[in-house]
Amino acid sequence: MADQALRKAPLAGRHGGSSGARVTPAGPATRLALRAGSDAIGTLSLAFGLELPQRPKTSASVTGRHALWLGPDEWLLIDENGADLLGIASGVSALHSATDVSHRNTTILVSGPDAAAAIAAACPLDLGTSVFPVGAAARTVLGKIEIVLLRTGKEDYRVECWRSFSPYAFGMLVEGAEDAGL
């Protein structure tokens, strides 16, 4: 029997940013691409223990578990504690599609008073508090790549991207953070 294979995160060992905006790779998390019609939302919400958001640019969070609205029938579920989201979904009989994307995405945390300015170096979204308050989420772009952005606190953001794009995203955010902190 071979040894258990070890995980190697795409941004392992990286760090950067400025005093105004720290840029750090987040730890591993389980993630689910969840698709379902409106009739299944109630059952799925019950199973996942949070209310699946139904308005654009919103999310729901409960103790390290986030559900991000990405489209009228599409959510990204993230569990920072590594819960078996696919397992939970498989127990739901209401019609839906759940696909494990835990390893597809990786997360970069951007935190600090200049976090929004750091992201705004390459992200064309309006991150003003009235437009993008805590809990706001959006699939958007960062420079040349697609990201999913979640505002987790007044000065805290999660930037989700596909793993092969993560060095680019990280580099861009670090440059943004350095400039924002000046």
Partner 1 sequence: MSGANRIAGQGRLTPAKTARFTFDGKTIDALEGDTVASALLANGVHLVGRSFKYHRPRGILSAGPEEPNALIDVSRDAARRQPNVRAPVQEVFDGMKVESQNRWPSLAFDIGGINNLMSPFFAAGFYYKTFMWPKAAWEKVYEPFIRKAAGLGVSPTEEDPDHYASRYAYCDVLVAGAGVAGLSAALAAAEAGARVILVDEQPEVGGALHYDLSVKIDGQNGYDWAQATAAKLKAMENVTVLTRTTAFGYYNHNFVGLVERVTDHLTRPDKKLPRERLWQVRAKRVVLATGSIERHMVFANNDRPGIMLASAARTYLNHFGVAVGRKVGVYTASDSAYEAAFDLKRAGVTIAAIVDNREKPGDAVLTEARKLGIEVLTGHSVIDTKGKLRVSSISVARNGGGSARSIPVDALLMSAGWTPSVHLFSQSRGKVAYDAASGRFLPGTYAQDCLSVGSCNGTDGLQATIEESLAAGELMARATGNEGGSKVELRGENAFEWTGGMAGAAEGAGVDTTVKAFVDFQNDVCAKDIRLAVREGMHSIEHIKRFTTNGMATDQGKLSNIHGLAIASEVLNREIPKIGLTTFRAPYTPVTFGALISHSRGELFDPARKTPMHAWEEAHGAVFEDVGNWKRAWYYPRSGETMHDAVNRECRTVRNAAGLFDASTLGKIEVVGPDAAEFLNLMYTNAWDTLKPGRCRYGIMLREDGFVYDDGVVGRLAEDRFHVTTTTGGAPRVMNHMEDYLQTEFPHLKVWLTSTTEQWAVIAVQGPKAREILAPLVEGIDISNEAFPHMSVREGKICGVPTRLFRMSFTGEAGYEVNVPADYGQAVWEAIWARAEPLGACAYGTETMHVLRAEKGYIIVGQDTDGTVTPHDASLSWAVSKKKTDFVGIRGLKRPDLVKEGRKQLVGLLTKDPNVVLEEGAQIVADPNEPKPMKMLGHVTSSYWSENCGRSIAMALVAGGQARLGQTLYVPMPDRTIAVEVSEMVFVDKEGGRLNG
Binding residues for partner 1, per CB under 8 A?
A: 1-10, 28, 33, 35, 73, 95, 97-105, 117, 120-126, 128, 131, 143-145, 162-165, 167-168, 171-172, 175-176, 178-180, 182
Compute the distance between CA of residue 152 and CA of residue 165 in angstroms, rounded to an integer. Answer: 22
* Cβ distance to partner 1 smaller for residue 50 or 117: 117
* Measured torsion, CA atoms of residues 125, 149, 98, 25, in degrees rounded to the nearest 10: 150
Least distance to partner 1, CB of residue 49, Å: 22
* Cβ distance to partner 1 smaller for residue 53 or 176: 176
Phi and psi for 39 in degrees, rounded to 5? -65, -20
Specify the 3-state DSSP secondary structure of 99: strand
Least distance to partner 1, CB of residue 64, Å: 19
Least distance to partner 1, CB of residue 30, Å: 11
Tokens of 144: 């040349």
* Cβ distance to partner 1 smaller for residue 62 or 164: 164
Residues forming beta bridges with residue 138, ordered by sequence position: 149
